[in-house]
């Protein structure tokens, strides 16, 4: 069985992530969406919350599993005998960082290849950071996330909601 790991912060998961996961699921027998720790970021949602939101967007994808891991990605990949690490690439701005990670991962563990899938054009500007930024101001994020994710994100981040709670 050819297993791929699709790692990320998924804080929160977006249509961009869903597109990459869906396409990876066509290429591999099993895809594990891995909520991993990016030490450069402080997440807004707990790992459990992120898993719940990923469940929403991957509903019906039968060969997709979701897991969490707090450690080096390559250790997880090796433990699962995965053959690939799948990442989405949006623009040149993603490239340098992703390239560095792919090379480092390859040095740490030679048993899996990093596979980059180019983003679909409509998700070119879709990122978790943008979603959170827009949600803070209570504006429409429907182009980036499905309604169930939207409601959770707005509830957590919208500044107007917070002011109401403080009253």
Using CB under 6 A, list all residues that contact ligand PNS: 7-9, 36-38, 41, 72-73, 101, 104-105
Q: In 3D, which of 63, 64, 62 has the Cα closest to residue 10?
A: 64
Q: Which is nearer to ligand PNS, 27 or 104 (CB)?
A: 104
Q: Which is nearer to ligand PNS, 9 or 58 (CB)?
A: 9
- Which one is catalytic: 90, 132, 148, 150? 90
81 has catalytic annotation = no
Q: Which is nearer to ligand PNS, 124 or 159 (CB)?
A: 124
139 has catalytic annotation = no
Edge-to-edge, what's the strand order for the sheet holding 64-69? Answer: 64-69, 30-36, 3-8, 84-89, 113-118
39 has catalytic annotation = no
- Which one is catalytic: 41, 139, 159, 162? 41
Smallest gap from residue 161 Cβ to ligand PNS (A) = 25
Rg (CA), the chain: 16
Q: In 3D, which of 6, 1, 5 has the Cα closest to residue 88?
A: 6
């Amino acid at each position: 069985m050819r297993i791929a790991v699709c790692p990320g912060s998924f804080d929160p998961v977006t249509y961009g992530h869903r597109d990459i996961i869906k396409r990876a699921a066509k290429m591999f027998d099993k895809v594990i969406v891995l909520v991993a720790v990016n030490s450069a970021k402080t997440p807004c949602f707990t790992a459990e919350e992120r898993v719940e939101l990923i469940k929403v967007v991957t509903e019906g994808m039968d060969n997709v599993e979701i897991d969490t891991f707090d450690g080096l990605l390559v250790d997880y990949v090796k433990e699962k005998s995965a053959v690939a690490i799948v990442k989405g690439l949006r623009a040149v701005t993603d490239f340098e960082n992703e390239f560095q990670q792919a090379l480092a991962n390859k040095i740490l563990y030679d048993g899996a290849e990093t596979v980059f899938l180019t983003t679909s054009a409509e998700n070119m500007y879709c990122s978790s950071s943008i979603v959170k930024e827009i949600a803070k101001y209570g504006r429409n994020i429907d182009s980036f996330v499905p309604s169930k994710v939207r409601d959770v994100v707005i509830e957590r981040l919208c500044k107007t909601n917070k002011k109401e709670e403080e009253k």
